Amino acid sequence: MRAQLSRLAERWRGGAYYSSVCSWTSAPKGCAAGGWGAGRKCGSRSVRATIHRTMSEDHFPVHDEFIYCSGGATEVLKFGPWKDLQKSNGESKPKLLILIIPGNPGVVGFYRTFMQSLYCSLDQRYPVWAISHAGHCSPPRGMDMTQEYDQMEDVFGLNGQIEHKLSFMKEHVPADIKLILIGHSIGCYIILEMMKRAADLKVLQSIMLFPTIERMAQSPQGKIMTPLLCSLRYVFYMPLYLLSFLPENLKTSLVRFVLRGIKSVDEASVEACLNLFRMDCAANAMYMGSQEMVKVLERDNNTIKRNLQKLIFYYGATDNWCPVQYYEEMKKAFPEGSILLCEKGIRHAFVLDSSNEVATMTIDWLKKRSLC
């Protein structure tokens, strides 16, 4: 074990874990469709090595795809028959894409129930996708966390994650498709940055759920987490390494024990938590979190003002990451904006037990604006 930890330390760069160049010899057990593919697209911001797992949930298609984007392992969860928007494959090309940018940890499995509710509520007319943060998903056996990439940057840091999303859009989403972006927590900050850096994106609406877009380190939760993430996160690496050897059933039991205080935990969230038993996934999430504490400072009023009619902000009434004070200040700064305060007691991590409820609200907001 000491030798393995030594190798992990040697491969650590800038606080984020980097795996070696990807290689494999066979597909993992359980891949039902698609198969394996690898290739390099010269000059592209994405380097692909793709695995498709296709499943049926209540008789509609769901695709779970692993790719390399900006050199980092990325999971893309897709509801609907459209596996590739750049190609028709017999399906009529949709005019609208609903894309979810997650919080931290950026594991798309947390949003499965939320996505399913959105997709069904929209009568399965539009694709609903979610993209993980680079390095937060646990890639299938034989696929490493990183791949050699000509323009490799700190893809696991906050700025790298923003560029990672823009890179995905450029490579996988047609330029003429209209977008509804849904951000959660730090995903809202990422969406604002995307709208600022890529003004040509055809965004019809951005929905900001429990938005951490300012003064994260000064929030009640930030005051607790800043020293843990910025100075003490390395203390957690040894326990995480040891926990990674537990059998899957024990990991699941441990997750259920930690979440025992939540009355009706979403089973999809329990499964998603298992990603965090992989040391490099958890380390990448903590590394990104440490940068959030340092870099998410003042609210970007200029970007908000330019896009105010396209933005809906939904704050939690008991949210220690973005307290009511932030909501009140936002409301005062933008009195004409759609800035809402939760009256239902929904927690910041709504995906744990309130996915359907938040999806219902989201659909109502979109329908009121005749966007779906």
Q: Which of the residues are catalytic?
A: 185, 319, 348
DSSP letters along 157-193, please?
SHHHHHHHHHHHHHHHS-TT-EEEEEEETHHHHHHHH
Instruction: Write down how long the chain is.
Output: 372
Any alpha helices (H) in the chain, and if so which ranges? 2-10, 112-121, 158-172, 186-197, 220-230, 237-243, 248-258, 267-273, 279-295, 301-306, 324-333, 355-368
Nearest Cα to 161, choosing from 80, 97, 241, 71?
71
Task: Let me know: does 96 contact 337? Beta carbons within 8 Å.
Answer: no
Residue 340's SS3 state is strand
Whole-angstrom distance, CA of residue 202 vs CA of residue 220 = 36
Strand partners, 313: 208, 339
**Could you tell me if 142 and 26 are in contact, meaning their C-beta atoms sit under 8 angstroms apart?**
yes
Q: Does residue 105 have a cis peptide bond before it, meaning omega lies within 30 degrees of 0?
A: yes
Token output for 307 = 């896009």
Structure tokens at 252: 């699941």
365: exposed, middle or buried (Cβ count in 10 Å: 0-12, 13-18, 19+): middle
Q: Give the count of beta carbons closer than 10 Å to the beta carbon of residue 99.
A: 24
Q: How many CA atoms lie within 13 A of 364 on its CB side?
A: 6
> Distance between CA atoms of 339 and 299, rounded to whole angstroms?
14
Angle at the Cα of 42 from the Cα atoms of 40 and 47, rounded to 5 degrees: 35
Q: How many Cβ atoms sit within 10 Å of the Cβ of residue 146?
A: 26
Q: State in Å, rounded, how far the first CA of the chain is from the last one.
A: 54
